Amino acid sequence: MIIKGTKINDRYSIIRTLGEGGMANVYLAYDTILDRNVAVKVLRGDLASDEKFVRRFQREALSASNLYHPNIVQIYDFDQEDGQYYIVMEYVEGKTLKQLLQKRGSLTLSEVIDIMLQLTDGLAHAHDAYIIHRDIKPQNIMILDNGMIKITDFGIAMSMNATQLTQTNSVMGSVHYIPPEQASGKGCTIQSDVYSMGILFYELLTGTLPYKGDNAVEIALKHLKNPLPSIREELPNVPQPVENIIL
């Protein structure tokens, strides 16, 4: 953890912690040069010593920094100081879709369609640049008070394979949205993000996840073997074309 008042690279002054994750901690900071608040994501210490992971983290941070889209959180900077690797990005004042679901339970059809239109617009822009998110889930999508959404963690999410499906918070949070090819260790494609969007679409409408289990491996196997439950059986008022899109 980095304490309040710490200045990173003699530029970013830490204000407070925004969140803690399995891969990194995120802080609200003040950019003393450009006079603005930013979010600073600091890679966890044990991962910072993994040269292969750091190279990938750096490569993807640099590629994602070239994405300019209103529905994607902008990456401003990537660097390291005293063995700490960090990414500086646009600070978004809002809540995650996960927090919204926890508060509301589920969302209305018109709300969900609006969110999905923005999400697909942002992801299409990234996919046109051959950048795959790899970890689409409600925790990684912010929603502002005006309804605008912002995709976070773009292109820097860690790709999981079958040997990594241990029950950590980060993996358990992601495995509910994991495409079959990723669950079986075959890596990700653009279609992998599309699959995860389908799961998210289902969850936003129903407030539940289509595949559940006691551990990450059990859930991953369901993604591999089980058909998606019919959303219209749970919500008969959902139009058939919407279910077709989700399927």
State how far the Cα of 34 lies from the Cα of 226, in Å rounded to an integer: 51
**Angle (CA) 183 86 26, round 5°:** 75
| Residue among 209, 219, 221 at smallest CA distance from 171 | 219
State how far the Cα of 200 lies from the Cα of 210, in Å rounded to an integer: 10
User: Are 182 and 192 spatial neighbours (Cβ–Cβ below 8 Å)?
Assistant: yes
Q: DSSP labels for 102-153?
A: HHHSS--HHHHHHHHHHHHHHHHHHHHTT---S--SGGGEEE-TTS-EEE-S
State how far the Cα of 76 lies from the Cα of 209, in Å rounded to an integer: 34
Give the catalytic positions in this structure: 135
State how far the Cα of 232 lies from the Cα of 171, in Å rounded to an integer: 29
Quote the tokens at residue 19: 């969140």
Neighbouring CB atoms inside 10 A of 88's CB total 23
Quote the tokens at residue 193: 């993000």
Q: Tokens 């912690």, residue?
A: 17
